[in-house]
Structure 1
Amino acid sequence: MSETHRPLFGGEHFLTGKEVCERLYISPRTLQDYRDRKIIPYTQFAGKILYKASDLERILEENYKGGGKR
């Protein structure tokens, strides 16, 4: 159950580091680098590092570079 359950606090979904890496196609080391450089916000709860799904969506939208028509 812990593999499929995503913690929910105040209506917000949180993702584990593994889930973030899988969604963004990055390595755990790259994710750590993004944390260190404050690119991806996170919270630490009970010794686990968690990421808000809404933060990831916002970051992706802000950095989306569409291949629009020229």
Structure 2
Amino acid sequence: MKRVVLKRVEPPRPVATVRYVECQKNHAAAAGGHIVDGCREFIPSGAEGTDAAFTCAACGCHRNFHRRVES
């Protein structure tokens, strides 16, 4: 007796383009206020694949502080 195995093939997911825009780090959180530095766009300070690529060259914050926009 033969067994037939059916595999479900899922269609490929569309590739989303991700950009990181304005910095939302609150620099006055310790004092109980809300002040952002005004950085408008994430600019990596190093080459892709290095640890420096996660630091913004404009404001020095980590990429996670910048608002993520998928398009």
Q: Per the shorter chain, which TM-score range?
A: under 0.3
Question: Structure 1 length normalisation: TM-score?
Answer: 0.21
Structure with max Cα Rg: 2
Structure showing the higher strand proportion among its residues: 1
TM-score, length-scaled by structure 2: 0.21
Write 1 or 2 for the structure with the bigger share of helix: 1
